Structure formats: structure tokens, C-alpha cells
Amino acid sequence: MSAKTFVVAMIPEFGGLNATFPLSATLVRRGHRVIYIGPPPFREYVTSHGFGFQVFHGPYPKGRFWEFFSTASRLIQKLNHEVEHWLSQTKPDLVLLDPPFCFLAGPALKLDIPVVNLMPTTLSSATLSAPPVTSGYVPGKKLDPLVHLALWAWVAAKGTRRRLTQRSMMRLLTGFDPFSFVARQGGTFRMADIGDRLDVPELVAAPPEFDYPGVRRRKNRRYLGTCVDEKRRDTVGLESIFQRDRGKRLAFCSLGTVAVEAARNRKFFGRPSHHGLRFLKAVVDAFRDLPDWQLALRLPATVPVSYLGRLPPTVTALPNWPQLQVLEQADLLITHGGAGSVREAMHFGVPMLVFPWNNDQYGLAARVVFHDLGRNGDLGRATEVDIRNMISHVSNDVSIRDAVLEMKNRCRSQSQSTLDAAASFLEGEALNKLNERESRL
């Protein structure tokens, strides 16, 4: 097969980008070219992994209600023009889009370039087989279909209100609606758990075994595995910052890469900052009475260590940790339920305590419980006693240990085969579109 060019447009977050790198690396090894598009701060990080990068300044407006929509609409319209011009020159064979960037499908479809959803988390469109990923409901009960219906009805009501507000405001203030533009190019949307979803084939950065059975059997949905690159370049080596005591079990507590910015803005995970910081303090206090454990804790750089009180010798709090190196040795992960952290814990066989705070984290926490990979809790209410009891339960539960090991073995056994299958699928999608174009000539 001749070399092809694939364009990847993801929400500019390191966790989401990391999830796509194994697939991109597989495509490059098969002789293809992969080009990411995004804002300037991510260029060096992406190119250091061997992929191309085209700088575009995305629509991240601020301001009052009407100013926000007016600015967003104009920025999206400008971005669409720039992307369309660049695509017409680059002539890629296929575009992979993070679902929130579905408005960029307009330029691709206009130029007859196929589009595939590339999802860094287990998003889903509406189904009675499973709850939306924004829900913490754990299936497995007789009334599941009714509960799922109620949850999806709530998602539909919120989504309709948001959709009408966004599109009417954009049309009113600028005369441009990016979603209508996509529709005019032949794109269609379906209701989904987070925003509207472009109705195209989708790739999910997760093992199929981690999703709910009713979701993973859906047509045009393929999974990429844990998408963990063990050769990922970390900024610091673990041995240079942490002294591991092999006689103790190791817990790693990290509440996500957004913690620093959230704390700087006096918000912590969408809540008043004292909720998240109180939780970190409760975690430290829980380990004061666990002498057989070591705790490696990621503390936002803007928060002084003194906030946690006098740290016991078994606790180390730092702003930057080489997460993969830590998880490779860890016996427990305490996390907010970010998709990247959950995938990495499954890859290394680490049980989890998940304390979600936003969006898909609730659904990921529910999947952790559903598959017996750990337990979930309430970040805003968990006390040091609650956390200590959860640690004891998860670390001593044989069923959790067995389920975690089984998930790890499954993920490892099929990691490259799922990526190769996804790459073959993308090659086929690009080839089919090429054949369609040639048949029309």
C-alpha cells in the first residue's frame, strides 16, 4: 500500500495526546505520515515523539455570555478557513478528530476527506445498554434499562438546551453556525453523552474489556487498548527524586495534569479549591497511620507543602512525578479518574481508588467498580478514615487483585494487535474514499 497522510486534531491536553501516540507510531512504522494540528505550546512535545505538527490557534474565548459566543463563532469560522486552506494544500487521506473538535469536520468533508472520531476516553452515543459516561451509575441491576433511559433523557434535555443556546447565539451574533456548516457538507450528528457526536466510525483509546458489554458491541466502534507507551519521555527520573523502600507497599496519588492550573485559578476540579486541597490533606493523614505503606503524592506547584502539615517519613509530596515509572512499581493508585491514569493503571496492573470530579471521570470510576478493578468515592466528602478503610479493602480483596491481574494480562496480550487492526481499518477507510473519488472521475 502506498504511503498515506493522516491528520490528527485533539483537544490540546497532554493526557489526550499521549493516548494517540501508540496508534500514530503504528501508522508511521507502516510507512505513513502523521501530522497533528494544534496550538504552539504542544508543538515541541508532539514533534519530539516523531510526528509532524501544524500550528493553528484554536478557539478558546473568554468574556461575558454574549462576548463568549460571538468570539467563539468568529474564531471557529476563521479556524475553519485556515484549516480548509491547509488541507487543500496538504491533501491528507484521512482526518482523525477528537469529538469536541467535530466542527473541523466541515473543511474535511467539503474537500471529500474521510473523517473518523478518535476518542481518548470511553464516550458513547445514546443506548439503553449502558449509562452515559457522565454518570457514576454502576450497571448490574434488574432495573438497568429504566435507569439508563432516565439518565439519557437527562443528558438529552441538557444537550438540547445547550445546543439551542450555542447555535442560536452564534447565528444571532455572527451569522455563522459551525454545526450547520458541517451538516451542509454532508455530516450528520447523533446524541452523545458529552456534546453532539459526528456520526462516523470511531476509535476508542481503551481496552474493549474495560467498556460495558452493550457499548463495545456497537457497530463502527473499535478499541485501541491501553495506549501506553512505556518509552514515553518523562522530564525526570524516579531514582533522582524518590527513595523507594522495597519493604513497604507503594501508593501513588495524582489528581490530574489540570491540577496546577486549577489551583492557580483558585478552583480545584470545578469546585472551590478547598475541596480538592482538603482531599489531598485527608489522603496524607490517612497514610500517617499506615506504616507499611509509602505514599508518592502529586501536589500542585502553586500549593506549598506546608499546607499538608508535617509529613511523615513515608510520604513524599512533589509537583512532578514520572507517572509511568511510579505506576510500574505501585501497589495502589488514588486518582480523580482521568482516562490516561486509568488506562495506565490497567496496563501496569494497579488497583485503583477513584474520586471523580467532572465529566467522563464519573463513568470511568463506575467502570472501575463494575469490573472489580478498585472502588470509587466522593472527593468532596471522603475523610481520612474513609480513605484508610478503602485502602485496606482494595489492597486485601482477593477478587480485586485477581480482576486487576486478568485485565493487565488481557491488555498486554493484545496491545499491538489492536493497534495494528485499527491501522488496517484506517488504511481501508482512506483507500475506499480514494476509490470512490476515482470512480466518479
Angle (CA) 290-363-413 rounded to 5° is 80
H-only helix segments in 30-143: 43-47, 65-90, 105-110
Of 193, 211, 190, 189, nearest in space to 148 by CA: 193
| Domain range 5-200, CATH architecture | 3-Layer(aba) Sandwich (3.40)
Written as nine digits, the cell of 34 is: 502523521
Cα torsion through 433, 439, 440, 441, rounded to 10 = 110
Angle between helices 65-90 and 144-174 (to 10 degrees): 90
Segment holding 375, helix H or strand E:
strand 374-376
Residues whose CB is less than 8 angstroms from the CB of residue 424 and which lie 6 or more positions away in sequence, other chains included: none
Measured between alpha carbons, how far is 73 from 57 in angstroms, rounded to an integer? 14
H-only helix segments in 91-133: 105-110
Measured between alpha carbons, how far is 316 from 303 in angstroms, rounded to an integer? 14
Q: Provide the terminal-to-terminal Cα distance of the chain, rounded to the nearest Å.
A: 22
CATH 3.40.50.2000 in the chain is located at 5-200, 238-407
Written as nine digits, the cell of 27 is: 501508522
Measured between alpha carbons, how far is 395 from 387 in angstroms, rounded to an integer? 12
Give the pLDDT of residue 70: 61
Beta partners for residue 36, in sequence order: 8, 53
Angle (CA) 417-422-427 rounded to 5° is 125
Q: Kindly list the distances between the CA atom of residue 386 and the CA atoms of 137, 249, 309, 375, 434, in Å, as whole numbers in the listed order.
A: 20, 19, 19, 12, 58
Q: How many CA atoms lie within 13 A of 85 on its CB side?
A: 7
Q: Residue count of the chain, please give it.
A: 441
For residue 311, give the DSSP letter. P
Of 43, 8, 5, 50, nearest in space to 25 by CA: 50
| pLDDT tens by residue, the chain, 441 residues | 689 999 999 988 888 899 999 999 999 999 999 999 998 999 999 999 999 999 987 655 454 544 555 666 777 888 888 999 999 999 999 999 998 888 889 999 999 999 999 999 988 888 888 999 999 999 988 888 899 999 999 988 887 877 777 777 777 767 778 888 898 999 998 888 887 788 999 999 999 999 998 787 777 889 999 998 877 766 677 877 888 888 999 999 998 755 444 444 444 444 444 567 888 999 999 999 999 999 999 988 778 888 888 999 999 999 889 999 999 999 999 999 999 999 999 999 999 999 998 889 999 999 999 999 999 999 888 999 999 999 999 999 999 999 999 999 998 888 788 999 999 999 988 777 655 655 554
Instruction: Report strand pairing: 332-335 vs 315-318.
Output: unpaired
Beta partners for residue 189, in sequence order: 198
Q: Which amino acid is at 263?
A: A
Beta partners for residue 55, in sequence order: 38
Q: Kindly list the distances between the CA atom of residue 57 and the CA atoms of 2, 39, 98, in Å, as whole numbers in the listed order.
A: 32, 5, 16
Class of the domain covering 238-407: alpha beta
Segment holding 213, helix H or strand E:
helix 213-216
Give the pLDDT of residue 180: 86
Give the pLDDT of residue 341: 93
Give the pLDDT of residue 143: 82
Q: How many CA atoms lie within 13 A of 280 on its CB side?
A: 31
For residue 312, give the DSSP letter. P
Neighbours of 149 (CB within 10 A): 14
What stretches of 120-234 adopt beta strand conformation (E)? 189-190, 197-198, 202-204, 221-223
Beta partners for residue 97, in sequence order: 9, 117
